[in-house]
């Protein structure tokens, strides 16, 4: 076996910190496609999504099939906008919340692109953007599609109870968004670029309540964001926006506190959360949105548009995921969480 000491002599050229890499030729997000459900379409960002479905079945025989159709629709919308075909894609990086990633697998079957299945729960969008940028900057691909989705009906019945049971949700619970997003990353082309990726460690602070995932995920967001700032030498104000994925109301407040107590920094002036942006305050969705489609749809439809329009020059997307299962919850385990972050710049 080789000795570690010998190997450490040759550092990886693109690493700028223990959890962070910086791209030499930052890949561009040249096109995106987003599809959301009716409630998401009525929210404040509704006009920005490419497609809003009339109902949550979209003509399919099951909600699972509906979720797949939404992801495929998002994928083809992105391809059409880029003037590309599935044959142009070198890889699809795709993940979702459903057991065994059936949304991603059936969608990858339909789209017909070589696929790496990812699992990062609601952090999948940033996991895919980071990994995808590595495949492009590393010279392994010209085009990579990053795709993820979630569906309120499929996720709620898998993780908690079918909505039809009428289970009364706690006010601090988040609503799994019905949303799908696909983005095409390219080695060349126009669009906001993925310049830096900070990959998360799994974090667990002893939260067991599966209705309180925002609180469970806030420490993961703090860990990755503080590490990112340390690795890059940047300050919060170097970003026009730090957008977490799906912490919602209570997780968002916790993250502001954690930034102060653990990092000695004030994130609040630049911090927002995709789970707070998707729905309006009148929509009765508890603490806000969650679901892997949430951060994807909000980032791809709203944040990237604001970057193209010149409102933001530099955004840190820090998507968070709760990695528990109903089985681990029923066995009394804590909720492990993660946050992956990518810096987007124009």
Rule CB under 8 A: which of 74-133 touch a second copy? Answer: 81-84, 87-88, 90-91, 95, 98-102, 104-106, 108-109, 112-121, 127, 131
Nearer residue to a second copy within complex by CB, 27 or 259:
27
Nearer residue to a second copy within complex by CB, 80 or 237:
80
User: Residue 280's CB: how many other CB atoms inside 10 A?
Assistant: 13
CA 16, CA 229: separation in Å to the nearest integer? 11
For residue 9, the minimal CB distance to a second copy (Å) is 8
Nearer residue to a second copy within complex by CB, 61 or 282:
61
Site residues for a second copy, 152-171, by CB under 8 A, read 158
Site residues for a second copy, 193-232, by CB under 8 A, read 199-204
Looking at the DSSP bridge assignments, the partners of residue 111 are none
Q: Tell me the residue length of the chain.
A: 346
Judged by CB under 8 A, which of 41, 191, 236, 291 binds a second copy? 191
* DSSP character at residue 264: S
Nearer residue to a second copy within complex by CB, 52 or 119:
119
Judged by CB under 8 A, which of 14, 160, 169, 234 binds a second copy? 14
Give the H/E segment covering residue 149: strand 143-150
b or e along 176-189 (b: 16 or more beta carbons within 10 Å of the residue's beta carbon)? bbbbbbbbbbbbeb
Which string of x and - marks every residue 170-189 that binds a second copy (by CB under 8 A)? ----------------xxxx
Q: Are 334 and 310 in contact (CB under 8 A)?
A: no
Judged by CB under 8 A, which of 129, 241, 316, 323 binds a second copy? 323
For residue 166, the minimal CB distance to a second copy (Å) is 22
Nearer residue to a second copy within complex by CB, 154 or 252:
154
Q: What is the 3-state secondary structure (H, E, C) of 152-200?
A: HHHHHHHHCCCHHHCCCCCCCCCEECCEEEEEEEECCCCCCEEEEEECC
User: Sign of dihedral through CA atoms 235, 240, 245, 250?
Assistant: positive
Nearer residue to a second copy within complex by CB, 11 or 264:
11
For residue 343, the minimal CB distance to a second copy (Å) is 15
Rg, Å, the chain Cα set: 19
For residue 295, the minimal CB distance to a second copy (Å) is 16
Site membership for a second copy, residue 31 (CB under 8 A): yes
Q: Are 293 and 177 in contact (CB under 8 A)?
A: yes
């Amino acid at each position: 076996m080789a000795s570690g000491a010998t190997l450490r002599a040759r550092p990886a050229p693109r690493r700028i910190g223990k959890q962070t890499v910086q791209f030499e030729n930052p890949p561009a997000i040249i096109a995106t496609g987003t599809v959301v459900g009716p409630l998401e379409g009525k929210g404040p960002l509704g006009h920005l999504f490419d497609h809003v479905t009339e109902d949550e079945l979209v003509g399919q025989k099951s909600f699972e099939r509906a979720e797949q159709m939404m992801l495929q629709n998002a994928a083809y919308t992105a391809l059409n906008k880029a003037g590309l075909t599935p044959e142009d894609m070198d890889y699809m990086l795709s993940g979702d919340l459903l057991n065994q990633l059936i949304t991603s697998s059936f969608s990858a079957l339909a789209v017909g692109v070589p696929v790496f299945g990812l699992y990062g729960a609601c952090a999948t969008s940033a996991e895919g953007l980071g990994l995808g940028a590595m495949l492009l900057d590393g010279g392994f691909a010209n085009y990579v599609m990053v795709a993820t989705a979630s569906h309120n009906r499929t996720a709620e019945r898998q993780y908690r109870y079918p909505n039809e049971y009428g289970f009364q949700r706690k006010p601090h619970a988040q609503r799994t968004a019905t949303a799908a997003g696909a983005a095409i990353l390219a080695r060349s082309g126009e669009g906001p670029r993925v310049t830096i990726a900070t990959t998360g460690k799994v974090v667990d602070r002893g939260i067991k309540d599966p209705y309180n995932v925002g609180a469970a995920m806030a420490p993961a967001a703090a860990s990755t964001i503080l590490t990112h700032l340390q690795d890059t030498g940047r300050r919060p104000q170097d970003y026009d926006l730090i957008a977490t994925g799906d912490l919602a109301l209570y997780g968002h407040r916790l993250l502001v506190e954690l930034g102060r107590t653990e990092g000695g920094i004030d994130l609040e002036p630049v911090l927002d959360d995709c789970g707070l942006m998707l729905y309006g305050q009148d929509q009765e969705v508890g603490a806000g949105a969650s679901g892997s489609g949430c951060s994807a749809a909000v980032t791809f439809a709203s944040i990237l548009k604001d970057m193209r329009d010149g409102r933001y020059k530099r955004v840190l997307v820090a998507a968070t995921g709760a990695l528990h299962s109903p089985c681990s919850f029923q066995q009394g385990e804590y909720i492990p969480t993660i946050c992956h972050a990518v810096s987007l710049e124009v």
